[in-house]
Each structure stands twice: as C-alpha cells, then as structure tokens.
Amino acid sequence: MAAQTFALPDLGEGLTEAELVTWKVAVGDTVALDQVIAEVETAKSLVEVPTPYAGTVLVLHGAEGETLPVGSPFITVGEPGDAAEPPAEGAQSYREEERAGTGSGNVLIGYGTSESSGSGRRRRGRRAAGTAEQPPVPDAAPVASAPASPSAPAGSAAAAGRVSGFAPRVINPLVRRLARDHGVDVATVNGTGPDGLVMRADVLAAARGAAPAAGVGTAGTQAAPAAQGIASSGQPAGGLDARSGLGIAARTPITGVRKVIAETMSRSRREIPEATVWVDVDATELLALRKGIRPDANGRRPSVLALVGRFAAAGLQRVPELNARIETTADGGQELVTFDGVNLGIAAQTDRGLVVPAVEHAERLSARELDAAIGALVAKARDGKATPAELGRGTFTLNNYGVFDVDGSAAIINHPQAAILGLGRIKERPWVVDGQLCVRQITELTLSFDHRVCDGGAASAFLRFVADAIERPGEALAEL
C-alpha cells in the first residue's frame, strides 16, 4: 500500500499546538489500527494519540520534547520499502480525512481512517525555517462562511456529506459530546467553520432551533491577542544582559500550560475591571463542627475547602451575578450570561502549572460528596489527565492559598469568569468574643470580582454570606 501520513489532530477546543512527550513506537515497528503511538501534552492535559492507519512505521515526524503545530505531519505508516511521503499541498488534511466513511470509526476526535492517500515530493516531515505552513484556524476563531439553509440542494456541504456517505465534518470531541448531550444529529448540522466544519456554536444553535451567527465569537471563545513584552535582545544564555548588566542564566520558552496561564491572566487584566473585598473570619466553630462529623468508610471527613465550597455554591445561588460571564453579541454589544447551576472551579497547583478543574453542579452535592469530587478531580489534574472540558467548564473559582501558608491574595479572575474567592491560612489569633479577648482560629476570605457584572453591595453580600456560614456552620448547613 502507499505510505500514509497522519497529521497531528486538534486535541481540544481552540488548541493549536502540542508538545510531544513520548513516542510509544519506533521506526520499523508494526502498528495496528487505533494503537496508541504517542503521548502529547497540550496546554490543558496529557493525551494519548492513536493511529488511524495500520502498517509499518516509516517516519516519526518530531522528537520528544518538540512542540508541533496542529495539522503538521505526525507519523507516516506504510509497508517496508514505501516512500515516506507527507501530505502534499492539496491532499487530504486531517480535517478532510475525517469525512471518509471507510475507516475503523474508532477515533480520537471524530477521526476516521481513509482509503485514499496523499502524494507529493519526498521530504522530511519537520519543516525547514521559512517554509512552515500556517496551522489551521482553531475553533476559537472560526472563519466565517455562509451556512447552507436546511433546504439547500445536494451540492451544499451538509447535503453533500449525506448524499456521498461522508461522515459529518466534526473534528472536536467536545463538539461531538455536546451534540450527544443535546440529542443533535451532527449529520444534519450545517457547519459555519472552515470548509463547513461543525463548531460548538452550530450544535448549540441546532439544539435551540436557531441559525448560528457565522464567525461571531463570545467573550469565552475569542482568541486573545498576543501578549506583549520586552523585545528579545538575542543574547543567549551565558551572555550579558544589556538592560541590567547581569549575566543571562537561562532562556526558557513559555509554552504549554505556562503559555495558557500567561495569556489567560493577561487577558483578564486587560478586559476585566476587577475589584477586591475581603474580611477576617472566625473559623473556630467550623473546625469544631468538622471534627464532630462522622468519618466515612475510608476514615475521611469533609475538608475545610469542601465545606467552604458548599457555602460558596449556596451563596452564588443568592447572588447569581457572580456566577456568570460577559459575552459579546453579533452587533458588538454585551450580555451578562448567568447559569442554572454552579460549576465550581478549584485552583490546583501542579507540576505543569496552575490549572482549574471544575466540579459540575456543586450546588447539588453535599459537603461529603463535594469533598470526594474535589479530591478525585484535583488528583486527575495533577496527573495531567484532566480533560479540556473539566478544565474549561468552571463558572466560579475557589482558591485555597492557605496551603502556601499565606493569609491573603488579590487573585486574578480566571477569564471569562466573573469572580474568584480566596481562602487564606487558618491561624490562632487574639479575637474579641462577647466583649472578652480570647484566642480563636481566624482566616481571611478575599473576593475579586468583575465590577461590570455587579456593584460592591452584591459582592459584599456574597462574601458576608460565606463568612457568616463559616462562623455559624451549624445554622448554614441546616439551611442547605
């Protein structure tokens, strides 16, 4: 058979590159259909990549530790002696290959294996400087195209897919899952993305029975502009920095999670006019209540973080403006979007950087259930196994910086959310109770909020609700 080159697929909503962590195969190995061939690290998680082709590995297009753009050649598979040929210009790209309905159907992100193959001049898959192709436009910034009407002729993109037997053009696992959750048949959806690609907005529009606005993003999906900084001096490590006069110890590229953190935090500072309120809270009664809770079968009691998280979820139902985000409409206006439920994000420090996995519908869980959910999700995130959906679905963030033995922090809001609640360390301090000076367990709560979504009165009301619940936890839990 002719050699077939598999391009690095889109591994999550809006991701444009991935770092190759480990090859699971070597040149000359025989691989089966859907066999895991590599592990890559995106800006959000570690992902195992299967091959849509069976045969002998001819070329591995990249070295471990290298960052590869989405759509670039990843692996070439064929028979021994076949020429190792990457996809030629005009040949099927990884998006187009998905349309073929003749493959295994067992796919990573809606990938199908195709019987056809590209041909082109023989060359190494890694691009030379100055000849790199532009990566495909990510879902975060779709290119507008005219959507076909439901009654369009068979020549339209959607109709052509149905008539010719091609699979619908969906490359994103989140979009497929969204379609399943809403009972939408993606084969009936007219995609507004590049070349008729079905986007998240198309599925949501189909679920509502409305036509999507092609190419119109929201505050949560618009691509952030490139971060600005001091221009590189070009001096390598070991050279002398002209600005400070000091030697340059190292130059470390900002990639992966650190790059996403930098972009998200920079965008938050640019777009969100944030304000911060804080209050010292007596947590003595909360600690006593927790100590009195019967341990579960594993000998575990709900953590302080879980108890505070449960109070926060209840408070957000009373002040829903903080459980929201601002979106930009098609006409350039803005809308405040509030939610029916609380997806509670938990800021977690990992070896890969700061990530914020979110517990779905935290308001429906007991403190014990929330504690278990937080523990499982944070452990998954620290192992690098949290999915893009788990890392991106939060509507409000809880940050326990007390684990770093500090009292407070004016935290940056996790864009596009509207607020973040911080919990400082709990420490014995002198405190006045009923006119008497005594030693109590005191913590500090800090709330940073988007001043566009509410005024200080609403933010203070939420913070005071959580503080009162901590100081009188028995009464609070009786109301939940």
Catalytic residues: 451
Tally Cβ neighbours within 10 Å of residue 263.
18
- The amino acid at residue 399 is N
Tally Cβ neighbours within 10 Å of residue 373.
21
Q: Where are the beta strands (DSSP E) in 186-299?
A: 274-282
Tally Cβ neighbours within 10 Å of residue 360.
17
Overall residue count recorded for the chain in this entry: 480
Q: Where are the beta strands (DSSP E) in 192-310?
A: 274-282
Cα torsion 204, 209, 210, 214 to 10°: value is: 40
Report d(CA 454, CA 475) in Å as an integer.
27
Residue 40: CB partners within 8 Å, gap ≥ 6?
8, 11, 18, 19, 20, 21, 46, 47, 49, 68
Angle between helix 200-208 and helix 173-181 axes, rounded to 10 deg: 10
Which 3 state secondary structure label does DSSP give 440?
strand
Write a three-state SS string for 42-57: CCCCEEEEECCCCEEE
